[in-house]
Amino acid sequence: MSIRIRSYKSGSKSAKALANYMNVLILKQTNSKFRPRLSDVIINWGSSQPIGSTCSTINYPSSVTYASNKLLSFNKLNEAGVSIPRFTTDINIADANYERVFVRHTLTGHSGEGIEVINTGSQCLPNAPLYVEAIRKKNEYRVIVVDGEVVDIKQKRLSTDAPEDRSRYVRNLNNGWIFSRDNVEYVEGLNEIGIEAVNALGLDFGAVDIITDCNDKLYVLEVNTAFGLEGKTIELVGEALKKLIRKIGE
Protein backbone atom coordinates (compact mmCIF):
# COMPACT_ATOMS: atom_id res chain seq x y z
CA MET A 1 0.00 0.00 0.00
CA SER A 2 1.28 3.43 -1.00
CA ILE A 3 -0.10 6.57 0.67
CA ARG A 4 -0.11 10.04 -0.82
CA ILE A 5 -1.49 13.41 0.24
CA ARG A 6 -3.25 15.46 -2.39
CA SER A 7 -3.39 19.14 -1.40
CA TYR A 8 -5.72 21.85 -2.68
CA LYS A 9 -2.65 23.98 -3.40
CA SER A 10 1.09 23.57 -3.62
CA GLY A 11 2.97 24.92 -0.65
CA SER A 12 0.24 24.21 1.92
CA LYS A 13 1.98 24.30 5.32
CA SER A 14 -0.60 22.01 6.88
CA ALA A 15 -0.30 19.42 4.11
CA LYS A 16 3.49 19.49 4.47
CA ALA A 17 3.28 19.14 8.26
CA LEU A 18 0.96 16.15 7.92
CA ALA A 19 3.12 14.54 5.24
CA ASN A 20 6.24 14.93 7.36
CA TYR A 21 4.56 13.42 10.42
CA MET A 22 3.10 10.49 8.50
CA ASN A 23 6.27 10.06 6.43
CA VAL A 24 4.38 10.14 3.13
CA LEU A 25 4.70 12.17 -0.06
CA ILE A 26 2.53 14.99 -1.42
CA LEU A 27 1.33 14.57 -4.99
CA LYS A 28 2.49 17.14 -7.52
CA GLN A 29 -0.20 19.53 -8.69
CA THR A 30 0.64 18.74 -12.33
CA ASN A 31 2.57 16.04 -14.19
CA SER A 32 2.53 13.61 -11.31
CA LYS A 33 4.13 10.25 -12.13
CA PHE A 34 2.23 8.48 -9.35
CA ARG A 35 -0.06 5.79 -10.76
CA PRO A 36 -2.16 4.52 -7.86
CA ARG A 37 -3.06 0.88 -7.52
CA LEU A 38 -6.33 -0.37 -6.10
CA SER A 39 -4.70 -0.94 -2.69
CA ASP A 40 -3.25 2.59 -2.44
CA VAL A 41 -4.73 5.46 -0.42
CA ILE A 42 -4.97 9.16 -1.20
CA ILE A 43 -5.61 11.64 1.61
CA ASN A 44 -7.42 14.54 -0.03
CA TRP A 45 -6.46 17.76 1.74
CA GLY A 46 -9.11 20.29 0.72
CA SER A 47 -9.23 19.70 -3.04
CA SER A 48 -12.52 19.72 -4.95
CA GLN A 49 -10.91 18.56 -8.19
CA PRO A 50 -11.80 15.00 -9.29
CA ILE A 51 -9.09 12.45 -8.62
CA GLY A 52 -9.96 10.01 -11.40
CA SER A 53 -8.62 6.97 -9.63
CA THR A 54 -10.08 3.73 -8.32
CA CYS A 55 -7.86 3.67 -5.22
CA SER A 56 -9.25 4.51 -1.77
CA THR A 57 -9.74 8.23 -1.17
CA ILE A 58 -10.07 9.83 2.25
CA ASN A 59 -12.38 12.83 1.81
CA TYR A 60 -13.86 12.55 -1.66
CA PRO A 61 -13.62 15.74 -3.75
CA SER A 62 -17.42 15.87 -4.15
CA SER A 63 -17.81 16.08 -0.36
CA VAL A 64 -15.10 18.73 -0.16
CA THR A 65 -17.06 20.73 -2.75
CA TYR A 66 -20.07 20.83 -0.44
CA ALA A 67 -17.96 21.71 2.59
CA SER A 68 -16.08 24.55 0.89
CA ASN A 69 -19.21 26.28 -0.47
CA LYS A 70 -21.10 28.11 2.31
CA LEU A 71 -24.52 27.79 0.70
CA LEU A 72 -24.12 24.14 -0.33
CA SER A 73 -22.82 23.19 3.11
CA PHE A 74 -25.60 25.05 4.95
CA ASN A 75 -28.20 23.31 2.81
CA LYS A 76 -26.65 19.90 3.53
CA LEU A 77 -26.34 20.58 7.26
CA ASN A 78 -29.87 21.91 7.43
CA GLU A 79 -31.26 18.84 5.63
CA ALA A 80 -29.47 16.61 8.17
CA GLY A 81 -30.94 18.52 11.10
CA VAL A 82 -27.61 19.95 12.29
CA SER A 83 -28.02 23.19 14.26
CA ILE A 84 -26.81 26.17 12.18
CA PRO A 85 -27.66 29.89 12.12
CA ARG A 86 -30.67 30.93 10.05
CA PHE A 87 -29.71 31.73 6.45
CA THR A 88 -31.32 32.79 3.19
CA THR A 89 -30.50 33.84 -0.34
CA ASP A 90 -33.45 36.27 -0.32
CA ILE A 91 -32.47 39.83 0.60
CA ASN A 92 -36.02 40.68 1.66
CA ILE A 93 -36.25 37.75 4.10
CA ALA A 94 -32.92 38.70 5.66
CA ASP A 95 -33.90 42.35 5.97
CA ALA A 96 -37.25 41.56 7.59
CA ASN A 97 -36.14 38.79 9.98
CA TYR A 98 -32.50 39.23 10.96
CA GLU A 99 -31.41 42.03 13.28
CA ARG A 100 -27.75 41.63 12.36
CA VAL A 101 -26.56 39.91 9.18
CA PHE A 102 -23.37 38.37 7.92
CA VAL A 103 -23.53 39.32 4.26
CA ARG A 104 -21.45 36.82 2.31
CA HIS A 105 -20.23 38.30 -0.95
CA THR A 106 -18.40 35.07 -1.79
CA LEU A 107 -19.50 31.52 -1.07
CA THR A 108 -16.01 30.01 -0.94
CA GLY A 109 -14.04 32.52 1.11
CA HIS A 110 -12.20 31.73 4.32
CA SER A 111 -10.86 33.60 7.39
CA GLY A 112 -13.60 36.19 7.13
CA GLU A 113 -12.96 36.88 3.45
CA GLY A 114 -15.92 38.45 1.66
CA ILE A 115 -17.98 38.99 4.86
CA GLU A 116 -19.75 42.25 5.64
CA VAL A 117 -21.59 42.67 8.95
CA ILE A 118 -24.70 44.85 8.74
CA ASN A 119 -27.37 45.89 11.24
CA THR A 120 -30.58 45.84 9.24
CA GLY A 121 -32.21 48.63 11.26
CA SER A 122 -29.55 51.16 10.30
CA GLN A 123 -28.23 50.03 6.91
CA CYS A 124 -29.62 48.65 3.68
CA LEU A 125 -28.46 45.21 2.70
CA PRO A 126 -26.44 44.92 -0.51
CA ASN A 127 -27.09 42.21 -3.08
CA ALA A 128 -25.18 39.06 -2.21
CA PRO A 129 -25.44 35.29 -2.77
CA LEU A 130 -25.97 34.50 0.94
CA TYR A 131 -27.24 36.15 4.11
CA VAL A 132 -26.62 34.53 7.50
CA GLU A 133 -28.13 35.64 10.78
CA ALA A 134 -25.40 36.85 13.14
CA ILE A 135 -25.68 34.98 16.42
CA ARG A 136 -24.50 36.82 19.52
CA LYS A 137 -21.79 34.34 20.31
CA LYS A 138 -20.57 33.43 23.77
CA ASN A 139 -17.79 31.00 22.86
CA GLU A 140 -16.31 29.51 19.71
CA TYR A 141 -14.74 26.08 19.31
CA ARG A 142 -12.97 23.93 16.76
CA VAL A 143 -13.80 20.23 16.93
CA ILE A 144 -11.66 17.97 14.75
CA VAL A 145 -13.29 14.72 13.70
CA VAL A 146 -11.64 11.77 11.95
CA ASP A 147 -13.62 8.66 10.98
CA GLY A 148 -16.53 9.45 13.27
CA GLU A 149 -14.43 10.21 16.35
CA VAL A 150 -13.43 13.51 17.94
CA VAL A 151 -9.63 13.69 18.11
CA ASP A 152 -9.14 17.30 19.24
CA ILE A 153 -11.14 20.17 20.74
CA LYS A 154 -9.90 23.74 21.01
CA GLN A 155 -11.54 27.00 22.06
CA LYS A 156 -11.03 30.32 20.32
CA ARG A 157 -9.54 32.98 22.59
CA LEU A 158 -8.26 36.52 22.17
CA SER A 159 -4.47 36.73 22.11
CA THR A 160 -2.59 39.19 24.28
CA ASP A 161 -1.37 41.16 21.25
CA ALA A 162 -4.77 41.48 19.53
CA PRO A 163 -5.21 44.75 17.59
CA GLU A 164 -7.33 47.37 19.32
CA ASP A 165 -9.24 48.20 16.12
CA ARG A 166 -10.25 44.55 15.55
CA SER A 167 -13.70 43.59 14.28
CA ARG A 168 -16.24 42.77 16.98
CA TYR A 169 -17.82 40.08 14.86
CA VAL A 170 -15.19 38.33 12.74
CA ARG A 171 -12.96 36.21 14.97
CA ASN A 172 -9.97 35.26 12.85
CA LEU A 173 -6.19 35.25 13.23
CA ASN A 174 -5.80 38.73 11.75
CA ASN A 175 -8.12 40.08 14.45
CA GLY A 176 -6.05 38.47 17.19
CA TRP A 177 -8.06 35.29 17.81
CA ILE A 178 -6.29 31.97 18.29
CA PHE A 179 -7.36 28.41 19.12
CA SER A 180 -6.24 26.94 22.45
CA ARG A 181 -6.87 23.52 23.98
CA ASP A 182 -6.03 24.72 27.50
CA ASN A 183 -8.97 25.02 29.91
CA VAL A 184 -11.64 24.46 27.27
CA GLU A 185 -15.09 25.40 28.58
CA TYR A 186 -16.79 22.24 27.39
CA VAL A 187 -20.48 22.45 26.49
CA GLU A 188 -22.73 19.39 26.45
CA GLY A 189 -23.28 18.12 22.92
CA LEU A 190 -20.08 19.64 21.47
CA ASN A 191 -18.63 16.29 20.39
CA GLU A 192 -21.91 15.06 19.00
CA ILE A 193 -22.64 18.10 16.83
CA GLY A 194 -19.11 18.01 15.43
CA ILE A 195 -19.50 14.39 14.37
CA GLU A 196 -22.97 15.06 12.95
CA ALA A 197 -21.66 17.94 10.81
CA VAL A 198 -18.81 15.93 9.30
CA ASN A 199 -21.13 12.99 8.59
CA ALA A 200 -23.78 15.26 7.04
CA LEU A 201 -21.28 16.44 4.42
CA GLY A 202 -20.08 12.91 3.67
CA LEU A 203 -16.56 13.61 4.90
CA ASP A 204 -14.07 11.24 6.51
CA PHE A 205 -12.46 14.07 8.46
CA GLY A 206 -12.96 17.76 9.09
CA ALA A 207 -12.43 20.61 11.53
CA VAL A 208 -15.82 21.91 12.62
CA ASP A 209 -16.15 25.53 13.75
CA ILE A 210 -18.92 25.79 16.34
CA ILE A 211 -20.27 28.67 18.42
CA THR A 212 -22.54 28.93 21.45
CA ASP A 213 -25.03 31.67 22.22
CA CYS A 214 -25.74 33.11 25.69
CA ASN A 215 -27.87 30.04 26.47
CA ASP A 216 -25.10 27.63 25.39
CA LYS A 217 -27.03 26.54 22.31
CA LEU A 218 -24.65 25.15 19.71
CA TYR A 219 -24.43 26.28 16.08
CA VAL A 220 -22.14 24.93 13.36
CA LEU A 221 -20.58 27.67 11.23
CA GLU A 222 -18.51 25.59 8.83
CA VAL A 223 -16.50 22.42 8.32
CA ASN A 224 -12.91 22.86 7.14
CA THR A 225 -11.21 20.19 5.05
CA ALA A 226 -7.75 21.81 4.88
CA PHE A 227 -7.37 23.32 8.33
CA GLY A 228 -4.37 24.66 10.22
CA LEU A 229 -2.07 22.02 11.70
CA GLU A 230 0.58 22.78 14.28
CA GLY A 231 1.94 21.38 17.53
CA LYS A 232 -0.04 18.61 19.17
CA THR A 233 -2.77 18.79 16.53
CA ILE A 234 -0.41 17.37 13.89
CA GLU A 235 0.13 14.27 16.00
CA LEU A 236 -3.55 13.84 16.90
CA VAL A 237 -4.74 14.12 13.30
CA GLY A 238 -1.83 12.11 11.90
CA GLU A 239 -2.40 9.19 14.27
CA ALA A 240 -6.14 9.19 13.61
CA LEU A 241 -5.53 9.08 9.85
CA LYS A 242 -3.03 6.23 10.29
CA LYS A 243 -5.70 4.33 12.20
CA LEU A 244 -8.23 4.95 9.42
CA ILE A 245 -5.76 3.80 6.76
CA ARG A 246 -5.11 0.57 8.68
CA LYS A 247 -8.87 0.07 8.82
CA ILE A 248 -9.12 0.57 5.03
CA GLY A 249 -6.38 -1.99 4.48
CA GLU A 250 -8.03 -4.74 6.53
Q: Give the pLDDT band of residue 161 (cuts 50, 70, 90).
A: low
Query: Which residue segment(s) compose the domain that 124 sits in?
Result: 87-133
Q: Maximum distance among all alpha carbons in the chain?
A: 60
**Domain shared by 177 and 226, yes or no:** yes
For 175-213, b/e burial (b = at least 16 CB within 10 A) is: bbbbbeeeeeeebeebeebbbbbbebbebbbbbbbbbbe
In this prediction the pTM is 0.90
- Same domain assignment for residues 110 and 182: no
Host H or E run for residue 218: strand 218-224
Residues 117, 164: one domain? Answer: no
- What local confidence, expressed as pLDDT, does residue 37 receive? 84
Work out the pLDDT band at 162, boundaries 50, 70, 90.
low
Cβ-proximal residues to 202 (8 Å cutoff; 6+ apart), any chain: 60, 62, 63, 66
CB 73 within 8 A of CB 206: no
Counting the structural domains of the chain, the total is 2
